[in-house]
Amino acid sequence: MTPELTILALAALFQVVQFTIYSALAQMQVGSKYAASPRDKPRELTGEAGRAQRALNNHFEGLILFTAAVVVVTMSDQSTATTATCAYIYLGARLLYLPSYLFGWTPWRSLIWFVGFIATVVMLISALI
C-alpha cells in the first residue's frame, strides 16, 4: 500500500473518532430522548457540540478532495516523496484542526485548515507534472 493510501485510511478512521466525539457532545447537549427520536424538529447545537459538528462537516468536505488526490496519485502511479509528505501534512493538519476548532484557537484554526488544503492541492499538481 502506498503511503498516501495508508494516510487516507488513517484519515477515514479519524473521521470515526470525530463522529464519536461529536455524537457524545451532541447527546450531552440535547439528551438521549431527543438523540433517539426521529428529530422532526431540528435543534441547533451550540458551544463545543456545535463546534464539533462543524469540524466534522469540515472533515467530510476536506476528505473528499484528499481522497480525489490520493486516487489520482495512486492510479497514475505518481506516488513520490513529495506526495507522501503532503499526505502526512494533510493528516497532521486534520489532527490539529479538531482541537483548534473545539477550543476556539483563532486565527490558528484557519491557518491549520489552509495547510491541509495546500498539501492536498500540491498532491494533485504533483500528479499532473
* pLDDT given for residue 35 in this prediction: 63
* pLDDT given for residue 45 in this prediction: 81
The tens digit of pLDDT for each residue in 47-71 reads: 899 999 999 999 999 999 999 999 9
* pLDDT given for residue 32 in this prediction: 73
b/e map 80-109, b = 16+ CB within 10 Å = eeebbebbbbbbebbbbbbebbbeeeeeeb
Give the CATH number of the domain where residue 20 resides: 1.20.120.550
Provide the domain count of the chain: 1
* pLDDT given for residue 34 in this prediction: 62
48: nearest Cα among 25, 24, 28: 25
Mean pLDDT by 10 residues, the chain (129 residues): 96 97 88 68 84 94 96 95 98 97 93 97 95
Structural domain span for residue 91: 3-128
* pLDDT given for residue 111 in this prediction: 96
* pLDDT given for residue 42 in this prediction: 77
Tell me how far CA of residue 108 lies from CA of 88, 120, 129, in angstroms: 19, 19, 31
